[in-house]
Structure 1
Amino acid sequence: MSTRAWPSREEWQAKAEYAVRTSQTMYERLDRLQPDTNWWSLGEESELEELASTAAPEMRRLLTAEINRLRAQMPDRPAPGRERVSWFVALEDEAYDNACNLGALEGMRTEVQRARQKQTWGEVVWHLGRLRSHYPAVALPERLLAAHDRMTELTASADEHRKEAAVAAEQAAVDKEIARRATDKAWAKELKRRATIDSPRVIRVGPQIATSKDEQMT
């Protein structure tokens, strides 16, 4: 038998908002209610596609040039596998940094190409931001920098639209739960749930030894 101290009906009702907001994040709720939603307007989406579809192949050319430069500095780099791992671990200083950058840029080039094929333009924007912020050895032309600035504005706009929808969805859930907890039906259901927790069913597993009373009933 549980000795849990349950909140009163008034306390339980007062925690309706808290229960909703802590059960899941507002974005988890939104994604469940509106999966695969595009948060750009039609005009914003068209502009982003035009900018990103032009930026992706230009990025790939820049990445390839830097990858080739770094590979030329490490002609003894083994093929992927255990041998490369051992080779990488033994590197020091600049050679180690170059190997790290090379691996990262190779991965980025693959991901940019995949994003281009799938037309997931937000990924192109993200990778261009990575390249711009963390790899100064790759000189980005002004047109690509300007395109990234504009695409960042567009993705920020989509993020704001998504946030507004998430806040609204969460508030609607809060209002619904507050109204639900105010009903006698909901309170009766809550009491039943508590009773189940306080006196859980016992499920016996495996052969049981019959008592004398059990034997009389067979």
Structure 2
Amino acid sequence: MTARAWPSREEWQAKAEYAVRTGQTLYERLDRLQPDTNWWSLGEETELEELASTAAPEMRRLLTAEINRLRELMPERPAPGRKRAAWFVALEGEAYDNACNLGALEEMRTDVQRARQKHAWGGIVWHLGRIRSHYPAVTLPEQLLTAHDRMTELTASADERRKQAAIAAEQAAVDKEIARRATDKAWAKELERRATIDHPRIIRVGQQTAPSKDDQMT
């Protein structure tokens, strides 16, 4: 077996930052270090709940109105199942677009209700943004637009705190790995690891020697 070309000690040390940053994502590391952390203040959570719980029923009312309008345009729409699927794929042009929007809005209305029941206020914010960006036929009143702007600000603030904490955790891990790789002890362990990979022990079935985790079985 030909030994692989390993990087020199200097090259290995220079790769410390790369190894840390590619070993896991920002948020994987943060969630491991700070599991179940709440990045919201109590005041922010209270304000978001008040805004979202008020917005949810108004959203459902507006969605229902548009759903009913679209349903009137497609009285021949079959019940859910194979017939509806066959009917849907045969549509063209505006009829196809209307059917797509109707199905999406029906699903959204259900999701909004579930989010409201579970107090999953982030879902309310997300769906309100979807309506605002992709469904111009649903006219949102000014108070809903204002509420969505504020909920988006609150969510962005919590997301930014989480992001900054993740960046700090990653930088701390980078600094620690750079310092570790500068030691003779770390280099000796790296050489041992390479030797184990280049020259693994081979244990033949039937021998009494207890295998180690790096052994190859034949």
Say yes or no: TM over 0.5: yes
- 1:114 lines up with 2:114 in the alignment: yes
Give the C-alpha shift of residue 36 in structure 1: 2.9
C-alpha distance in 2 between matches for 1:93 and 1:159: 40
Give the C-alpha shift of residue 204 in structure 1: 5.7
C-alpha distance in 2 between matches for 1:204 and 1:73: 75
C-alpha distance in 2 between matches for 1:83 and 1:203: 62
1:26 maps to: 26
Give the C-alpha shift of residue 205 in structure 1: 7.2
Given that 1:39 and 1:161 are in contact with CA atoms closer than 8 Å, whether structure 2 keeps it comes out as yes
Residues 202/99 of structure 1: CA separation in 2 closer, same or farther (3 Å cut): farther
Given that 1:16 and 1:174 are in contact with CA atoms closer than 8 Å, whether structure 2 keeps it comes out as yes
- 1:141 lines up with 2:148 in the alignment: no
Report the secondary structure of 1:152's partner residue.
Answer: helix
1:215 maps to: none
Amino acid at match of 1:150: R
1:58 maps to: 58
Q: Deviations over 1:33-55 (max 9, x none)?
A: 22332212111111111101111
C-alpha distance in 1 between matches for 2:171 and 2:146: 38
2:167 maps to: 167
Given that 1:2 and 1:197 are in contact with CA atoms closer than 8 Å, whether structure 2 keeps it comes out as no
Give the C-alpha shift of residue 89 in structure 1: 0.3
C-alpha distance in 2 between matches for 1:112 and 1:33: 33
What are structure 1's unaligned runs of at least 5 residues? 207-218
Q: Deviations over 1:58-116 (max 9, x none)?
A: 11111111111111211221222222111100001111000000111111111111111
2:71 maps to: 71
Aligned length in residues: 206
Most deviating of 187-196 and 88-97: 187-196
Give the C-alpha shift of residue 203 in structure 1: 5.8
Given that 1:125 and 1:151 are in contact with CA atoms closer than 8 Å, whether structure 2 keeps it comes out as yes
Amino acid at match of 2:169: A
Given that 1:2 and 1:199 are in contact with CA atoms closer than 8 Å, whether structure 2 keeps it comes out as no
C-alpha distance in 1 between matches for 2:140 and 2:84: 30
Residues 189/54 of structure 1: CA separation in 2 closer, same or farther (3 Å cut): same
C-alpha distance in 1 between matches for 2:65 and 2:204: 69
Residues 97/203 of structure 1: CA separation in 2 closer, same or farther (3 Å cut): farther
C-alpha distance in 2 between matches for 1:15 and 1:153: 38
Residues 205/77 of structure 1: CA separation in 2 closer, same or farther (3 Å cut): farther
C-alpha distance in 2 between matches for 1:126 and 1:205: 58
Amino acid at match of 2:123: E
What are structure 2's unaligned runs of at least 5 residues? 207-218
Q: Deviations over 1:134-162 (max 9, x none)?
A: 10111111111110011111111111111
Amino acid at match of 1:89: V
1:8 maps to: 8
C-alpha distance in 2 between matches for 1:166 and 1:15: 21
C-alpha distance in 1 between matches for 2:70 and 2:104: 12
Report the secondary structure of 2:6's partner residue.
Answer: coil
C-alpha distance in 1 between matches for 2:120 and 2:180: 41
Residues 72/16 of structure 1: CA separation in 2 closer, same or farther (3 Å cut): same
Most deviating of 170-179 and 35-44: 35-44
| TM-score (normalizing by structure 2) | 0.89
